[in-house]
Structure 1
């Protein structure tokens, strides 16, 4: 067996070990949370329940849906709680192959992207849902009894969480594009009008068809794009390799 093959196999073994360590912690956290699966789903459903008429409840049309959906929500929460450990395992796997200046780039990006994603989810849960669900409930005709299905609600909530979580990743995307030399800050500033139009197009596709919810997604996207433009030059300079430094004359 050649040295390259041995190295490849050792990397696979290391990767499997890191994945198993991450998965074990996620499973342990999930099992610890399972006794409170119903309460966890109630917390997820709280924004909708606040918008519904008093005494209203959601419905479950599937046979195993009342059990399956709370389990899915609990599994997602377990992954979020264990995310620092999962990211540490990813970092421990790739760190040995990185140069010192590359480690300066990767570590802050991993931490900031995780925090930004969770900030996007929190913004969606605590602010956006209240606006959207109250609008939908107030718009519904009086002849309709609003009783959302928990499966449909779960799908909608996950879509919105992902949309807002990824929206809050915009500064990281801008920083990475600039640091890798794929595009300059000047070019990104020039295409600002197209980014603004694209933000509103994305918001119109992802969010319900009301102006308020579209603005709640498009405006943060545009603002975070500007934040990325401000931070990209600073980050690029701080993570520059020694060979990239300009020698004094």
Structure 2
């Protein structure tokens, strides 16, 4: 009994050492990425503000309202840019930590999961940046006239920019979420098909909440990819159910 406890304690210690190693690697990568991104902060600033500056009059510019605000806003730009830049390496460190605990059947899903979730997230971010943000900012800037002048804080804009694109990136994870829910038996393609009309309503409500502007065009532009992803999720749920059934049949045959 004592032997087993010692083995368990050693195993726990090894896991903590491995966790520290993976966290250290991720933090070092994040730190290096931060330094690189801070060096290119002016270029990143131009990329981040382009959807807004294209909508503003040519003589317009962004402002900062506190002595240290510009410095810390640039730090925030560098940090989030570094997070995106180093995310594949961070995902790899997560995989290296959890892979010993996974079954061989589960390990084969790791690479497709990381790849598909990364591509979907980036796809959502790029869609929001290139398709939805420009008309949304055009709408807001349209109130700029002889009597009203927009004086936009970069810190305020950056917070809106990050929240909006993060919302798009996370909403594009819908097929991944449905896959795991189907694997757990919580949903299936029949449930999704039956409740499609309610899903459409919820997606338009979500689009109205997530889009920064109240104009119908921006909301429709966000709802369309969500509807498309929902239809993909139905096929994903069907695929997951088939894989689960095939695995169950295989386990039953091995048991007999």
The reply to whether TM is greater than 0.5 is yes
Structure 2 partner of 1:228: 233
TM-score by length of 1: 0.92
Say if 1:105 and 1:239, in contact at 8 Å, map to a contact too: no
Structure-2 separation of matches of 1:38 and 1:68? 14
Query: What's the CA shift for 1:63?
Result: 1.3
Structure 2 counterpart of 1:2, from 1, 6, 15: 6
1:159-191 alpha-carbon deviations (Å, 9 max, x no partner) = 111110011111111111111211121112111
Query: What's the CA shift for 1:195?
Result: 1.2
Structure 2 partner of 1:121: 125
Aligned length: 247
Q: Please show how residues 64-213 of structure 1 align to structure 2 within 5 Å.
A: 64-207=68-211, 208-213=213-218
Structure-1 separation of matches of 2:231 and 2:83? 31
Say if 1:22 and 1:86, in contact at 8 Å, map to a contact too: yes
1:5-47 alpha-carbon deviations (Å, 9 max, x no partner) = 3322221221111011011011112112322212211210011
Structure-1 separation of matches of 2:152 and 2:121? 27
Structure 1 counterpart of 2:28, from 21, 24, 31: 24
5+ residue gaps, structure 2, are: none
Aligned CA distance change for structure 1 residues 197 and 190 (closer, same or farther; 3 Å): same
Query: What's the CA shift for 1:76?
Result: 1.0
Q: Secondary structure at the match of 1:188?
A: helix
Say if 2:188 and 2:237, in contact at 8 Å, map to a contact too: no
Moved more, 152-161 or 234-243: 234-243
Structure-2 separation of matches of 1:241 and 1:188? 21
Q: Secondary structure at the match of 1:82?
A: helix
Structure-2 separation of matches of 1:127 and 1:200? 17
Q: Secondary structure at the match of 1:51?
A: coil
TM-score by length of 2: 0.90
Structure-1 separation of matches of 2:150 and 2:196? 41
Structure-1 separation of matches of 2:225 and 2:155? 28
Structure 2 partner of 1:49: 53
Query: What's the CA shift for 1:82?
Result: 0.9
Misfit runs of 4+, over 4 Å: 238-243
Structure-1 separation of matches of 2:127 and 2:32? 28
Aligned CA distance change for structure 1 residues 240 and 86 (closer, same or farther; 3 Å): farther
Moved more, 2-11 or 22-31: 2-11
Aligned CA distance change for structure 1 residues 10 and 171 (closer, same or farther; 3 Å): same
Q: Secondary structure at the match of 2:185?
A: coil
Query: What's the CA shift for 1:192?
Result: 1.3
Query: What's the CA shift for 1:215?
Result: 1.3
Say if 2:178 and 2:187, in contact at 8 Å, map to a contact too: no
